[in-house]
Amino acid sequence: MKPAAFDQLLAEVRACRICAAQLPLGPRPVLQASLQSRLLIVSQAPGRKVHETGIPFNDVSGDRLRDWLGVDRATFYDARKIAIVPMGFCFPGTGKGGDLPPRPECAPTWHPRLLPQLKQVQLTLAIGQYAQAGLLGERRGRTLTDTVLAWREHLARGVLPLPHPSPRNRLWLTRNPWFEAELLPELRRLVAEALR
């Protein structure tokens, strides 16, 4: 795909209104991508703060994620380096236990058109259970912990599963010290290699 056609595709995504009636704050698709992107981050859906600013991971989850990746804000928001293509592009609203799941219409509508164009991607990160379900399908584990524990197996297929960097996951990180001890150093090495 030529750059102008890809820019047109991104404009179509940003103008998407397919589930507008189900979005409490209305549609505001948030993503970043370039034909040159080397790292692909697939997450769940924007939170309220990201919806308000229109900047992906512009919140405390993003601060933690950038720390995990070992990158600064300038690198993180350089679409020529990092693509951020969530399972849902708009804030889905809030439920009892936090944000609602990504809208089911989004990824099936847009991922088949977007992801094949990202031919320079060296590493794909599947952040959280919704991204892991979407990218790994039947190969994912019974739980998020099972899936992340099998990260070497998934990485062999080009996808590295991670928990969501939300502050709500502090307990998970405390219960799984192997994540910071074993996976994070390898994640930082792989990210540096992909962005080189």
What is the rounded average pLDDT of the residues 22-43? 95
Residue 113 pLDDT more than 90?
Answer: yes
Q: What is the pLDDT of residues 44-66, one digit of tens each?
A: 999 888 889 989 999 999 999 99
Q: What pLDDT was estimated at residue 168?
A: 86
- The pTM of this model reads 0.95
Q: What is the pLDDT of residue 96?
A: 84
For 76-96, letters b (16+ CB in 10 Å) and e give bbbeebbbbbbbbbbbbbeee
Question: Tokens for 44?
Answer: 């769940």
Report pLDDT digits (tens) over 153-194: 999 999 999 999 988 889 999 999 999 999 999 999 999 999
pLDDT over 90 at 195, yes or no: yes
Residue type, 107: A
pLDDT at 177: 96
Neighbours of 158 (CB within 10 A): 12
